[in-house]
Amino acid sequence: MDLMGLFTGVTQGISAYKTAVETLDEAKVAAATNELQVQLTHLGAEVIAMQKESLQAAERERATLRAKNELEDRVRELETRISERARYELVDAFMGAFVYRLKEASADGEPMHYVCQTCLDNKAVKSVIQRHAAAGSDAYCPTCKTTFHLNWFRQK
Ligand SMILES: [Zn+2]
């Protein structure tokens, strides 16, 4: 039953109760009291249901807001990643050893360096390739431990 119907029922119950009291007939007063209690019980149940719906709607709204904030954070993170990635270009540093090299135009005061293509593309980790003198290699990625034979002394 809708709320207006319940209010009408209670109003009618009160009216019937007043009429019964005026008759001084105990049976009529008891019947009117009983009917009024039934109407008030229905009204109370309806109010509780409305409160529950209101709480559920508020919870849905909070969940939606949380999801929206998480998506905004994710978009910002991806935008940062894209703009950072755009500072580099894929180069064949030495006979098929592909790495990302900082573009000179994007250096912004940073020294020229290489970053690991696998780490940047697959893990979103900017791992600067470091010198690593060992047999068969002269550089390595400190994150994924891939070794490279970049021979960067011959690059220039
Ligand atoms: Zn790596």
Instruction: Select from 82, 111, 126 the last residue of a domain.
Output: 82
Which residue range(s) make up the domain with 32? Answer: 3-82
- In this structure, the dihedral spanned by the alpha carbons of residues 121, 155, 151 and 149, taken in order and rounded to 10 degrees, is 30
- State in Å: Cα 143 to ligand 1 middle: 5
Q: Domains in the chain: how many in total?
A: 2
**Average pLDDT value for the chain:** 89
**What is the Å distance from ligand 1's center to 73 Cα?**
25
The sign one gets for the Cα dihedral 43, 45, 46, 47 is positive
pLDDT in tens, 69-82: 999 999 999 999 99
Asked whether residue 78 falls in the same domain as residue 117, the answer is no
pTM exceeds 0.75: no
Residues 10, 78, single domain; the answer is yes
Cα(131) to ligand 1 centroid in Å equals 13
* Pair (109, 139) in one structural domain: yes
Ligand 1 centre to CA of 156 (Å) is 24
Do 118 and 53 lie in one domain? The reply is no
Element (H, E) at 91: strand 88-94
- According to DSSP, the residues that pair with 92 across neighbouring strands are 98
Contact 29, 21 (CB under 8 A): yes
Q: pLDDT digits over 95-133, tens only?
A: 788 999 999 999 989 999 999 999 999 998 999 999 887
Distance 40 CA to ligand 1 centre (A): 71
